[in-house]
Structure formats: C-alpha cells, structure tokens
Amino acid sequence: MVSSSFDINIRDTYFVSAHRDVTVILCGFYALIGILYLLIDLAKVKLNTILTRAHMFLTIGAIFVYFIIEFILKKNFQPYESYSKLNSAIVFLTSLVLIAQFLFIINITISTIKNFKNKSYYGS
C-alpha cells in the first residue's frame, strides 16, 4: 500500500508530512483568512478589488491545481518519478500561495491607511 506523503529536504534531514496533515493545516489557514475577511468587512474597510481578486484566485486556485496534479499522478503511478514531480508541484504551488498572502497583507495595509485618511479628512 502506498502512503501519500511528501518530504522536504533541508540539508541532510528530511521532513516527511502526510497529506492529511497538510490538508488540516490548509483548512485552518483558509478559516483564518476567512475570519480576517469577515473582520475587515465588519470594520467597513473597503479593500482594493484587484488585490483581493488576485489573492483569492492564487490561494484557491493553487489548491485546485494541487489536487488535479495529485489525481493525475495517482492515475499514472510510477513510484520514484511521480513523487519527484508531486514534490516539485507542491513547492511551486506553495510559493504561489505565499506570494498571494503578501498581496493580502499589502491590501490590508493600503486599504486601512486609505480608510483612516478618509475618516480623518472628512471628520467622521
């Protein structure tokens, strides 16, 4: 039976993580992002539409692409070659998700500054 996991090589040590653990971490991560969006909406801060869409498409799209790649590689399973491709895909998609999170932080910062400037300018 094949165990579904991926490993990350850092120097001479391999960190192996099961796909179930990665899924649980991602679910918690997405829940946190959803809560942040809810809090921003409740605070009536208007976010930049372009940055918000870029963040959402990169974050959600990376997960869909990951599952599609995993499905394709499981269909055409070749033990050593498949895991190498899957690990490369995971690193690339993780990089995309991290870039998207920087867009999210930039979006929150710019929108909050604009919101405070508008409130202080209009005196409300």
Rounded to an integer, the average pLDDT of 23-31 is: 82
**31 found inside a domain:** no
Does 8 score more than 70 pLDDT? no
Q: Is the pLDDT of residue 100 over 70?
A: yes
Contact at 8 Å (CB) between 37 and 30? no
Residue 56 lies in a domain: yes
CA–CA separation, 12 and 122 (whole Å): 59
Residue 22 falls inside a structural domain: no
Rounded to an integer, the average pLDDT of 94-108 is 88
Whether 1 shows a pLDDT value over 50: the answer reads no
Decide if 70 is inside a domain.
yes
Residue 15 domain-assigned (yes or no): no
Once rounded to an integer, what is the mean pLDDT over residues 110-118? 84
The per-residue pLDDT for range 29-39, each reduced to its tens digit, is: 889 988 998 99
Q: Are 46 and 115 in contact (CB under 8 A)?
A: yes
Interatomic CA distance for residues 95 and 120, integer angstroms: 38
Q: 35 with 42: CB under 8 angstroms?
A: no
> For residue 65, what are the domain limits?
48-117
Is the pLDDT at 118 greater than 80? The verdict is no
Query: How many structural domains are present in the chain?
Result: 1
